[in-house]
Amino acid sequence: MLDHSTPIDPILHAIADPTRRAMIERLTKQPVSVSELAGGFPMSLQAVMQHLSILEGAAVVRSEKIGRVRTVSLNPAALRQLESWVTAQRTAWERRLDRLGDILGETPEDAKE
């Protein structure tokens, strides 16, 4: 394992898990309490909490505790950050690929600079 310190890394790691993506999708509809959220998943509340702490660590969600109820909501900034990263990458790829043309099975002399 290498870097892991890039700001984008925790976000990618957070959304790489299907359960966490499902939680995100649930939160897209509206903010919910922890137990309310947990009710929708076939696992213990603790497991849900652990996923939540990863999501919150990546700033994908935020949460606030009022009384004994912790309400969890999305943080759109995280997705915007992810989106710009993806877009930047894709742009870089495509720019390069455009220049190279058909690489495999092609003459390699157009791969300079």
Helix (H) / strand (E) containing 101? none
Q: Which does 40 bind (CB under 5 to 8 A by kind): DNA, a second copy, none?
A: none
Q: Which does 68 bind (CB under 5 to 8 A by kind): a second copy, DNA, none?
A: DNA
Residue 64 binds a second copy (CB under 8 A): yes
Select 30 or 35, whichever has its Cβ closest to a second copy: 30
Nearest to 59 by CA among 43, 81, 41, 36: 81
- Nearby residues of 71 by Cβ (< 8 Å), 6 or more positions away: 31, 32, 33, 63, 64, 65
* Total of residues contacting DNA (CB under 7 A): 28
* Torsion-angle region of 101 (φ positive above 0: left; ψ -120 to 50: alpha; else: beta): left
* Minimum CB distance to DNA, residue 110 (Å): 21
Q: Cα separation of 89 and 106, whole Å?
A: 24
* Total of residues contacting a second copy (CB under 8 A): 53
**Which residues make up the interface to DNA (CB under 7 A)?**
1-2, 13, 16-17, 19, 33-36, 38, 42-47, 49-51, 54, 65-71
